Amino acid sequence: EKKERREKLSRQRQSLGRCERQFSIGASTVKSLLCNLFSRPDEAIQQAQTLVSDMVDSMLAEKDVVLHLMNAKAGDEGAYYHALNVTVLALILGKEAKLNSEEMRALGLGTLLHDIGKEKIPSQILLNKAPWTKAEQNFYQQHVAYGLDMAQRLPEISAAALDVIAKHHELLDGSGYPGKLKGEQIGRLARIACIANSFDNYCNRINVAESMTPAEAISFMFKKEQGKYDPVLMQLFVRCMGVYPPGSIVQLSNGQIGLIMSVNPGQLLQPSLLVYDPDVPKEEALWLDMCEAPGLSVKKVLHPAELDVTVLAYLDPRMRVSYYTGNSLSGNQAT
């Protein structure tokens, strides 16, 4: 039994490693295409469409798509990780909402390019950790109009993808921007993009101290911002992310502390996690699939600030919460 556990752990690590490599390639591609978007637009859009098509095809081919926590670094590359992260989250929600292949591709391209207008916003505003003045807030909100104008000049961008770029900050109750649109004025793809974008923004603030944990962000959006997001899509998003989304630190019923690494579809209360154990070296940390530990449950979600520095260093919760997808790690199949 011990040998079987070791083999399974090895398979899980290999599977996660493959997923990390795919994520790394995806992040590099996003950086390249966004940097070349206007100097070499044909090539950049081709890159974007290929990346989105690959992601959509692999997601639609799998019955169950598992969301994994990725080891992305915070810092200057944040804009590229944000674009990729919002795309991954939107496509996962799109799959759950049963979008067809064409809709998924439009959603993917729109979310990948949703923030290109920030190119025209001064970095002293984008990177400002202090609260914005009203003037700075208004200037920042111009990125949507700038982005739409820029995207309309690019080759081969569908009207559906442009709609995502135009409306990714519109909220159902009319409190969004730039158009203060309400309800049916906001299409389904834009509603999905808005949920994914808001979640990533809450988890990854410019001022890291203000970032929410994934569990806090889900709870805040679901309970405190009712009316802003499509309620059906929001329920589907909770189903995709799990009750304890990857990146959450939790205490188990036996007192152990762990970092949620992936969510098992259909078993939202039984995620897979990396467990802190001072007697086990960090690089050999135990991967626990709670589906295989029926006596265990999550007692509570912890905030990183509550943890001892040795536990934090061991679990290494990501400064930037980033996600990528694979298939189930529970079985033998590779990602």
Q: How far apart are CA 92 and CA 8, in angstroms?
A: 26
Count CA atoms closer than 13 A to 106's CA, side-chain side: 17
Cis ω on the peptide bond leading into residue 281 (within 30° of 0)?
no
Q: Return the ∠ at Cα 286 (arms to 281 and 288), rounded to 5°.
A: 165
Distance in angstroms (rounded) separating the CA atoms of residues 149 and 38: 13
pLDDT tens digits for 85-110? 999 999 999 999 999 999 999 999 99
- Return the structure tokens found at 105: 């591709």
Superfamily name and number for 2-242+320-326: Hypothetical protein af1432 (1.10.3210.10)
pLDDT digits (tens, 9 = 90+) for 145-185: 999 999 999 999 999 999 999 999 999 999 999 999 999 99
What's the confidence (pLDDT) of residue 328? Answer: 54
Which of 16-25, 43-52, 111-120 is predicted least confidently?
A: 16-25
pLDDT band, very low/low/confident/very high, at 65 (cuts 50, 70, 90): confident
pLDDT tens digits for 108-136? 999 999 999 999 999 999 998 899 999 99
pLDDT at 332 over 60: no
**pLDDT surpassing 50 at residue 330:** no
* In the chain, where the domains are located: 2-242+320-326
- The contacts of residue 328 (CB under 8 Å, 6+ apart) are 64, 66, 264, 265
User: Would you give the distance in Å from CA 117 to the centre of its chain?
Assistant: 20
